[in-house]
Amino acid sequence: MSAHLPESVDAWRMVSARRSFAGSVAVAGMDRLVELLASRVGTVDYQLDFGRDALGTGYLDVHASANVELLCQRTLEPFVATLVVDQRLGLIGDESEEAALPAEYEPLRIDGPLVLKDVIEDELLLAIPLVPMRPGSEEVLAPWQAQAEAPAAEVPHPFAKLKNLKQD
């Protein structure tokens, strides 16, 4: 196991050697992730394990967690959320190999050196909620929900008075 995260690795050699990497990286060093956050503060704890399953399929297990600051879409205030990744990526050299992967594997196409920080960042990006909401922000909606759920007042039909004018 290595605490140092190399810039890039040969994924197939890592699979053959059954290498593992563990440690922490700064959130501020992940440019695509930072664009979606309310601040650049925080660290990502990771564990990466390369190996082969019983069928000989090369894989990369990605375990990562980070406490990041997101912007609540209800209150527009920042809050701390925990992102957790626990994913097995099946390594493939060509898209035609994707169908042979077990159902629980996500495909990761390898066509050169693998940048491990980018893999961690990609998985964290997928872990961000589509609409981030601070826990407990439901009470912000309470006045509007009560108004929306109240029965609408009976609106008279505009031609109701004409009914009385009609004589047989």
At position 155, the amino acid (one-letter code) is V
Region 121-149: mean pLDDT is 78
The residue-averaged pLDDT of 131-153 equals 68
Residue 148 belongs to some domain of the structure: no
Nearest to 136 by CA among 72, 83, 82, 65: 72
Taking Cα atoms as reference points, which of 25, 102, 6 lies closest to residue 65?
25
Q: Which domain holds residue 133?
A: 11-137
Residue 78 phi/psi, 5-degree rounding, is -70, 150
What is residue 139's predicted lDDT score, i.e. its pLDDT? Answer: 66
Structural domain contains residue 29? yes
Question: Is the residue at 155 inside a domain?
Answer: no
In this predicted structure, the answer to whether residue 141 has a pLDDT above a threshold of 60 is no
Domain membership of residue 168 (yes or no) is no
Chain centroid to Cα 149, Å, comes to 32
Q: Which amino acid is at 43?
A: T
* pLDDT on residue 37: 94
In a domain, 73, yes or no: yes
137: CB partners within 8 A, 6+ apart:
72, 74, 75
Q: Is residue 2 part of a domain?
A: no
- Residue 111 in any domain: the answer is yes
Q: Are 105 and 58 in contact (CB under 8 A)?
A: no
66: Cβ contacts below 8 Å, ≥ 6 apart:
27, 42, 43, 44, 45, 82, 83, 124
Residue 149 has pLDDT above 70, yes or no: no
Q: What is the DSSP letter of 102?
A: -
- Higher-confidence residue of 141 and 13: namely 13
In a domain, 151, yes or no: no
How many distinct structural domains can be found in the chain? 1
Mean pLDDT for 151-168 is 72
The pTM of the whole model exceeds 0.85: no
